[in-house]
Amino acid sequence: MKRFIITLVVLVVLTILSAVVSNYSTNYTATIILILAGLKFLGIAYYFMDLIKAHVVWRIMLVIFLGLFLIPILILY
């Protein structure tokens, strides 16, 4: 139960950090927000969806999916 609370707190901090970063207008704002969103995605998938207990193939496929989703967006932006 303690692990879930720590994960929840980290996700809330990442969300607040995303909101703070969105208020600044820099060249890397969208990149930082997408990276933070990817970290939140991994946190939710691993801890709240119990993929941390899944076979290593599923965990690798999740990271590959995230990469296939985020890398083209970051390259095109």
Number of domains present in the structure of the chain: 1
At a CB cut-off of 8 Å and minimum separation 6, what does 56 contact? Answer: none
Q: Are 18 and 37 in contact (CB under 8 A)?
A: yes
Give the pLDDT of residue 4: 80
Between CA 17 and CA 19 the distance in angstroms is: 5
Please report the sign of the dihedral spanned by the C-alpha atoms of residue 65, residue 29, residue 23, residue 10: positive
For residue 12, pLDDT over 80 is answered with yes
- For 42-59, b where at least 16 C-beta lie within 10 A, e where not — what string? eeebbbeeebeeeeeeeb
Give the pLDDT of residue 58: 93
For residue 77, pLDDT over 80 is answered with no
Range of the domain at 37: 2-76
Q: Model confidence over 28-54: pLDDT tens digits?
A: 888 899 999 999 999 888 888 888 888
Mean of pLDDT values over 6-20: 92
For residue 68, pLDDT over 80 is answered with yes
